[in-house]
Amino acid sequence: MPVAFITHPACRLHQMGEGHPEQPARLDVIEELLHARQLHDFLRHHEAPRATFEQLARVHPRSHVEHVAAQSPAEGLARLDPDTAMCPDTLEAALRAAGANVLATDLVMGGQVRRAFCSVRPPGHHAERAQAMGFCFFNNVTVGAAHALEEHGLERVAILDFDVHLGNGTEDIFKNDRRVLICSSFQYPLYPGLNPGSVPGHIVNCALPPGAGSEAFRKAVTQHWLPALEAFAPQLVFVSAGFDGHVADELAELRLSTADYAWVTDLACGVADRHAQGRVVSTLEGGYDLPALAASAVAHIDRLMTS
């Protein structure tokens, strides 16, 4: 069955100022490499719809959605926190990034595709219920997960987050919802400066020290994520796919390789194949070294297609 590739031109228009690492070229290099590897034509391409107010309000208070919309500038940049800013095109991009996860969920639940990748920005996993931060405005993956629970009636969904930063927003949003299993690996110490413990059967946090490398990452995932996932038996597997743990990425020091991202994708697909009819919805989070991002994201997409 095909794999969906969901994006929107608006996601390329969002920019946070000269030299900001979360830049439009991130999406371009992924598509360029998909073309070069001749994978682009084998994906089922979709334009992301806008998330509706109601879809966003499943995971954010209405006041947060209204606050972000109200900050949207007519020109220039509106700064929401020291490293998170809106340009006139940001609101549209953020609505499309969240909406991509809704469409991806509908496509895999409807059986049109087995897996989906949302190549979108701004990213989402730092956005808390009521706080935009860390390049994130709305929490894209949780909008998809909430849609799966509320619209499609699922009882158990997993979110796997291998971005090098803790997905504090995702954990904040689902901290009281046992229908969601969150498995996370992240470097600590590092932004956002939190190292919350695990909650058995609900949140599996694997903090890794700077310089940890492939072996430590794979060991943590195998020893901690995998048993929790097998016991939980998710009906749909979401992935917060951040590639900023790559050795070439200068925002962190986890020292992962492109092969590690292929490996963890195989693991996610294996869980989905055993418990969730193969259903995986993955969405782009971080990844700031452009060649490493392209190589890692394309390795990830390739495994979504072939695993």
Q: Report the nearest approach of Zn ion to the CB of residue 16 (Å).
A: 15
Q: What contacts 8, CB < 8 A, 6 or more positions away?
A: 47, 48, 93, 96, 97, 100, 120
Task: Please give the order of strands across the beta sheet that includes 236-241.
Answer: 44-47, 3-7, 115-118, 280-284, 236-241, 157-161, 180-187, 203-208
* Distance (Å, whole) CA 223 – CA 66: 42
Q: How many residues bind Zn ion (CB under 5 A)?
A: 5
* Distance (Å, whole) CA 181 – CA 27: 28
Enter the DSSP assignment of 222.
Answer: I
The angle formed by the CA atoms of residues 231, 237 and 241, to the nearest 5 degrees, is 120
Q: Report the nearest approach of Zn ion to the CB of residue 244 (Å).
A: 4
Count of positions (residues) in the chain: 307
Q: Which is nearer to Zn ion, 192 or 270 (CB)?
A: 192
* Distance (Å, whole) CA 230 – CA 267: 11
When asked if residue 286 is in the footprint of Zn ion (CB under 5 A), the reply is yes
Q: What contacts 232, CB < 8 A, 6 or more positions away?
A: 156, 158, 181, 201
Q: Segment contacting Zn ion (CB under 5 A): 151-159, 178-186, 279-287, 288-296?
A: 279-287
When asked if residue 125 is in the footprint of Zn ion (CB under 5 A), the reply is no
When asked if residue 163 is in the footprint of Zn ion (CB under 5 A), the reply is yes
Q: Which residue is nearest to Zn ion (CB)?
A: 286
| Nearest in space to 86 (alpha carbons), one of 167, 165, 7, 13 | 13
When asked if residue 165 is in the footprint of Zn ion (CB under 5 A), the reply is yes
φ, ψ for residue 244, nearest 5 deg: -85, 5
Q: Which of 244, 249, 260, 289 binds Zn ion (CB under 5 A)?
A: 244
C-alpha pair distances (Å), 108 with each of 5, 15, 184, 277 = 12, 30, 23, 10
Q: Segment contacting Zn ion (CB under 5 A): 54-62, 75-83, 234-242, 261-269?
A: 234-242
Q: Segment contacting Zn ion (CB under 5 A): 50-58, 176-184, 239-247, 270-278?
A: 239-247
Q: Report the nearest approach of Zn ion to the CB of residue 274 (Å).
A: 28
When asked if residue 124 is in the footprint of Zn ion (CB under 5 A), the reply is no
* Distance (Å, whole) CA 154 – CA 198: 23
When asked if residue 144 is in the footprint of Zn ion (CB under 5 A), the reply is no
Annotated catalytic, 126? yes
* Amino acid at site 136: C
Q: Which is nearer to Zn ion, 136 or 299 (CB)?
A: 136
Q: Segment contacting Zn ion (CB under 5 A): 10-18, 85-93, 113-121, 159-167?
A: 159-167
When asked if residue 242 is in the footprint of Zn ion (CB under 5 A), the reply is yes
Q: Which is nearer to Zn ion, 122 or 286 (CB)?
A: 286
From the candidates 14, 126, 147, 300, give the one annotated as an active-site residue: 126
Q: Which is nearer to Zn ion, 234 or 286 (CB)?
A: 286
Q: Which is nearer to Zn ion, 133 or 149 (CB)?
A: 133
- The contact set with Zn ion (CB under 5 A) reads 163, 165, 242, 244, 286
Active site amino acids: 126
